A and B are shown apart, each in its own frame.
Chain A
Amino acid sequence: MRVIFDLFRDGLSAIESAANQMALARQQVVTGRRISVASDDPLGMQQAIGEHATIGAIDAYTQTRDSAAARLSAADSVLNSMLDKLSAAIVAATDARGSNVDPAARAAASAAVRGLQQSLAGDLNTKFNGTYLFSGTQSTTASYANVGGVWTYQGDASTVQLEVEQGRLISVTFDGQAIAQGSDPTDVLTALNDLANAIDAGDNTAIGAGIDTLNRAFDRTNRAIGRLGADERTVDEAATRLSALRLAADGRRSHLEDTNMAEAITRMTTAENAYKAALSAVSTAERQSLLDYLQ
């Protein structure tokens, strides 16, 4: 068989092939990326896009979860504050009830109740990041307004919900009327007003009715705190899950996209050696022929 080595065609082809391999290996080491274009690994590319989408979704849920946690925390704080105020009002009313309470004590008690009412109205109209927490979905409107001496609920019964995980909704605004009034004929603010008037008048029957109303408001607030606490736990658990999911997705993404450095450096070294070998082989390929031996 006649064996012919074409220096330019075969030699350059071998050098180019080795150089391409070396360049590819170098690129992977330098960029740290296993996939630079889709054709590097089409299936890997497809999966990596999926992982990026998953990570994007997890990050969005995490952002939402953080927002929900902040709102729930604020609402929790406000509801506990309301609880304290209701307790204080009940204590004040209880102290003012009876036949041996002097007018000055009643005046002080009624003043305290009126002060607590104002403070409670402030609680119910709490804003967080510019939106009212207790107006349902009417979050740009104050929950309660005193219009012509009558306290009026201006929100609605719906709530703003945030999706903290896929399919898991958490309410981050509240139906203020459900807390402040429930099934009572009057809301707690009106009830406090009536209670203060009853204390001023020394009307023990009305004071007793007012205390009962406050106790029911206390219970409703307590139940709201309980529900909110459950939501806070859900949100906390979501944080743990989202963090774990993020870590796992990032690991999968890295496995698909990032260069295995040890492997890439080994491949680069091998490619460099192959390149040098190709250069050497080509440079010596036609160094000698029979012509060198002819006299």
Chain B
Amino acid sequence: MSGLFASLTSASNALNAQRAGLEVVGQNLANVNTVGYTRRVVDLAELAPADAFSAGRGVEVLQIRSLRDLYIEGRLRREQQGVAYDTAVVQGLSDVEGAIGVPGSSVDGKIDSFFTAFSTLANDVTSAPARDGVVAQGKALAQAFNDLAARLVESQQNADTAIGGAVDQVNQLAAKVAQLNDQIGAGGPGLEALRDERDVALAKLSDLAGVDVIQRADGLVDVTIGQGHALVIGASSFALDASPAAPSGFLRLSSGGADITSQITGGRIGGLLSVRDSVIPGYQANLDQLAFDFAGQVNALHQTGFDATGAPGGNFFAPLAGVAGAAASLSVDPNVAANSALVAASSTGAAGDNGIARAIAALRDAKVMAGGTATAAGAWAQFAYKVGLDVSTAQASMQTRGSIVQQLQHLRDQASGVSMDEEAAHLMQFQRAYEANARYFSTIVQTIDTLMKMVE
């Protein structure tokens, strides 16, 4: 009798185990489209027999666990940081690239028109419309420099605004990771779901800030940013502070009072910081140098000439205080702007002499920019090339890293993804096993029943 009842217990255990398997299949199928979900498997183990004369006590459910590969998860986070960085750079520079436009349509076109205006003036220095044309083209060129300088500042400001928003998200996610750490540390059911949720939060955090994730032995994670500054330690999070700082007024990021702005070199914030603090300032320096050299060269010639009244020439462009900010402040000298007769076209003072107009027009072909290495158009072309190269390099890097991320996602899926076919097979497997065990249970019940009838 005791053997038959033990068989009933064994069958009951088996039914429970197969039901658990069916539940896991159902959970996997239910979450086939859930982002960050890692597939579950049920681990079954044989219940050893109580003595040498019994077959065994059936089966038990050891655990239901998630299949996650921490190495791939870590690599995936690192590569996604890179993609986020490149994406931020591409997006941050798209406005600048747009402002450069197509060849002949931006500052280069204005430079060309400016020199052509002086060439036209040289053809007839007594022509008032030609003088007006020179002033008009000078204004247009200065405006083109001003506009591009403003666009660069605007791009910096956009990046700065985006950094502020991203920092808020980082703080929210860090708090969430700390909270999940706390729940995971407390144990209990639903741990795997919490880990999945934490992994999703960590992935978003990595996208944003290029953080380092340290897996602890107790199952919690610590998160650091920059050069090891704590963002999450166990159940505690440490918010990043983003405050405007002089002189630019741009946000500086600090952790625990330490300025870590320059230490964040990954993720979306890293890309935005690079655009704001490194790439665009480089462009501004180039543009300022071009504007400064240009104005300096034109003014140097203009001052040696004589205007339409025979008086010595002054500056054509208003004097610039220095290289920094030259593009933003470039303008035609107010006196010249108000009276085109002050354009100094003559090199001798003679009314018909065109020596200075000709000399300024000839600057078009002179390598007097960038330390005597480039013409004005050449210096602009170099600037446009640099912007284009930066964007295309970031795009290429983004594509390459995107491919790596795709590969890693496939690798992750191989370990953690839910396969409908596989789950269908498992469904059938557990269903059949449940049916068989139910039959077994029924058979044992009938056997006991038969036995009971014998004693009636």
Give A residues with C-beta under 8 Å from B: 1-4, 6, 8-10, 13, 33, 35-43, 45-53, 56-57, 59-61, 63-64, 67-68, 129-132, 135-141, 156, 158, 160-163, 166, 173, 253, 257, 286, 289-291, 294
Contact = CB atoms under 8 A, between A and B. Distances in A.
B106 to A, nearest CB: 9
A52 B354 contact: no
B406 A140 contact: no
Given A39-B97, A290-B424, A173 B352 contact: yes
B420 A290 contact: yes
Interface string B388-426: 110110010000000000100110011101111110110
B109 interface: yes
A9 B103 CA distance: 38
B122 interface: yes
A53 B108 contact: yes
B122 A130 contact: no
B127 interface: yes
A39 B354 contact: no
A160 B421 contact: no
B197 interface: no
Contact of A10 (B119, B362, B378, B406): B406
Contact of A138 (B33, B98, B351, B380): B351
Nearest to A37: B97
24 contacts: A2-B422, A38-B97, A39-B388, A42-B385, A42-B387, A43-B385, A46-B384, A48-B104, A50-B378, A51-B103, A53-B364, A56-B104, A57-B365, A61-B119, A68-B123, A139-B126, A139-B350, A158-B348, A160-B352, A162-B122, A166-B365, A253-B103, A286-B420, A291-B420
Contact of A56 (B116, B125, B354, B422): B116
Contacts of B406: 10, 13
Contacts of A9: 409
Given A13-B406, A39-B388, A136-B350, A46 B382 contact: yes
A158 B444 CA distance: 128
A43 B428 CA distance: 61
A256 B71 CA distance: 47
Contact of B352 (A3, A136, A294): A136
A60 B354 contact: no
Nearest to A42: B388
Contacts of A43: 385
Nearest to A135: B352
Contacts of A36: 102
Can you list the 8 inter-chain pairs with the closest CB atoms, starting with the nearest? A139-B352, A38-B388, A42-B388, A53-B377, A56-B112, A290-B424, A137-B350, A39-B391
B115 A290 contact: no
B28 to A, nearest CB: 12
Contact of A59 (B97, B109, B116, B353): B116
Contacts of B375: 53
A163 B364 CA distance: 13
A173 B355 CA distance: 13
A166 B421 CA distance: 76
